[in-house]
Amino acid sequence: MQSLWNDADAPRFEGPLGQRVYTSRLLGQDHSLVLHGGGNTSVKIRQANLFREPEDVLYVKGSGWDLETIEAQGFAPVRLEHARRLATLEQLSDEQMVQQLRAAMTDPSAPTPSVETILHALLPARFVDHTHADALLAITNTSDGERRVREIYGDSVVVPYIMPGFDLARLVAELLPKHQSPNTVGLVLLNHGFFSFGDSARESYERMIELVSRAEAYLAAHAAVGPPVRVTTPPPVEYVELAALRRQVSQVAGAPMIMTTHTGARETSFVQRDDLAVITQQGPATPDHVIRTKRLPQLGSDVAAYAEAYAAYFAEHAAQTKQPLKMLDPAPRVALDPDIGLVTFGRTAQDAAIAFDVYSHTIDVILRAEALGGYLALSAAEIFAVEYWDLEQAKLKRGSSTPTFAGEVALVTGAASGIGKATVEALLRRGAAVVGLDLNPGVKDLFGKRVDFLGLETDVTREQDIAQALESAGRAFGGLDMLVLNAGIFGASRRIESLGLQEWRTVMDVNLDANLVLLRAAYPLLRCAPRNGRVVVIGSKNVPAPGPGAAAYSASKAALNQLARVAALEWGADGIRVNVIHPNAVFDTSLWTEDVLRSRAANYGLSVEDYRKNNVLRIEVTSRDVAEMAAEMCGPLFSRTTAAQVPVDGGNERVI
């Protein structure tokens, strides 16, 4: 492992806390060291308090912050002496520990200190780093892991596994004076990770790199790099079958879930191992990465049976603890199937992505440990203790607000601009994962690298493109809950006697036929939606009040409106709602070019400015106004409404 320290970058981070931020980010960049909020770092600083008296303060990573992106405000300032005195107590519950650490903070608005704050305080060095390095976990998760660790790290302190928190700090306080030597650069926590320390941020960081490098060298010397990846293509799976599996898991979870399918060569090679059931059912690489897994022998496996088994597991261990515990939802977060691939679940697309990232590293640990002689995780009781930790239970009791569309998937056509883009934004704000289709290739990069948005360059007039888009949506998010039919074209403004048949057909192809194909293809997915499917059609004021020069557009939108009404009739028994929005004069869309705007204004004998506000309220209607209505029509406020036609037009005299 190479140090990422850069002499040109480091000086930009001033002072001890700035240096702490810099090296913390270096650690966070490498996911083989820390994952998504895992690991922690600290620095001890002497500073003046309110009374201008010198005081030693421990700045330790706060809860909710990720080392990869941490800022100075992500460190909780804790009075060092108080933190150290806590270690002298005979016992201290986790909740008491958190309360005491928060009471010892010099800034009560800072985040809650890490549960390993006391351990950071006890280590005498100024800078302390803590990671869950994959290389170490591969070595310790074997039957003779402790012997191997002592062979590699004879000059470091080796600490048996114990849960993070007060008890771990007490054990380190006992072992450190007995086993520390002048050459000691860190602690090795079995089945947990490394602690390194030093007098400078660089020294502590590079000692961590040294510790991990020694583990990697040991693995290489013992050819423990796992078997070669077999390039195997899994059998094709229909996206409707994926949606049905997602529905099962969502029912078990009690809420909609995002489901992401991974079928790369590495994942496929792993899930098709003959010993998969043995090596994957022991437990996680470290309790810090607790993820419930389930090997599904075949598509359509009884997820409910798995939930029952998990509930029994919970009941057994809860009875042993004799504590009133709240069971986490019993749905799996990882499923392994030779015919599907590696599947991850989450209440959000981010949660599903984190589950994949964690399990991807778990695969590395398992394969390396197998090469050393066999993967062996901690006991079920030890894993249960972390999963139903007092601190986790406290989080459950506090609860948190859930976005309206958390766990749900929407598809929006014409998503690259105007009403379509605004609708994507409205749905994302409400917590949905969104698939955006557009002929414009820019749709792919519309929202950067967000994991909850998939932009697909798609010609909606091609059935093959639509099928591929729905398959991509199924593999990315698991199915479809909401469909917003927005894509459309206006065409040149022509009177009927001048309207060519090909122009007519082109408008019909995009505005009507493409939507029929998409509705037909999406129906099986909408029927599998955990909270029932919803369709919103972006119609037009031209349906109730057509305008001169817009025969093709008006007719196509009127036909689409009738198609939506029939869909509402036919799909109501499946719980699918179909509603229509009729916007008018929304000029911040690609539909309204300057030429079209001038032409339409001339047809009404108005200036362009007057035409923009040619409505009863004399206001301009924007794409966001329409998008907000579209999103709300997919939400609970319209749960008893289908086949509605709602104008968003500022009031139109001809319609009224």
Distance CA 250, CA 188 (A): 40
User: What tokens appear for 55 in the block?
Assistant: 């005081």
Amino acid at 433: A
Burial of 544: CB neighbours in 10 Å, binned 0-12, 13-18, 19+: middle
Beta strands across the sheet bearing 293-295: 258-262, 341-346, 334-337, 293-295
Q: Are 117 and 84 in contact (CB under 8 A)?
A: no
- The CA R_g of the chain, rounded to the nearest whole Å, is 30
Helix (H/G/I), strand (E/B), else coil: 80:
helix
Supply the DSSP string of 520-580, one letter for each residue. HHHHHHHHT-TT--EEEEE--TTTTS--TTBHHHHHHHHHHHHHHHHHHHHHGGGT-EEEE
- Distance set, CA 223 to CA 145, 217, 370, 472 (Å): 16, 10, 11, 38
- Distance set, CA 653 to CA 369, 587, 605, 611, 617 (Å): 74, 19, 16, 14, 10
Helix (H/G/I), strand (E/B), else coil: 455:
strand
State the pairing for strand pair 186-189/157-159. parallel
Count the helices and strands in the chain (H runs, E runs): 23, 18
State the pairing for strand pair 334-337/433-438. unpaired
Q: Are 204 and 125 in contact (CB under 8 A)?
A: yes
Residues 6+ apart with CB under 8 A from 567: 519, 535, 576, 578
Distance CA 35, CA 437 (A): 32
Listed in sequence order, the DSSP H helices in 113-238 are 117-122, 134-140, 145-152, 166-179, 201-221
Q: Which of 371, 310, 317, 314 lies closest to 335, judged by CA?
A: 310
Indicate which residue of 153, 205, 310, 553 is catalytic: 553
CA 310 from centroid of its chain's CA atoms: 24
Distance CA 567, CA 520 (A): 10
Instruction: Determine if residue 213 is left, alpha or beta; phi over 0 gives left, psi from -120 to 50 gives alpha, anything else beta.
Output: alpha
Q: Is 310 a catalytic residue?
A: no
User: What tokens appear for 225 in the block?
Assistant: 């790099």
Q: Are 42 and 125 in contact (CB under 8 A)?
A: no
Q: Could you tell me the end-to-end alpha-carbon distance of the chain, in angstroms, rounded to an integer?
A: 71
Distance CA 355, CA 84 (A): 35
For residue 514, what is the DSSP state?
H
Q: Strand pairing partners for 52?
A: none
Instruction: List active site positions.
Output: 553
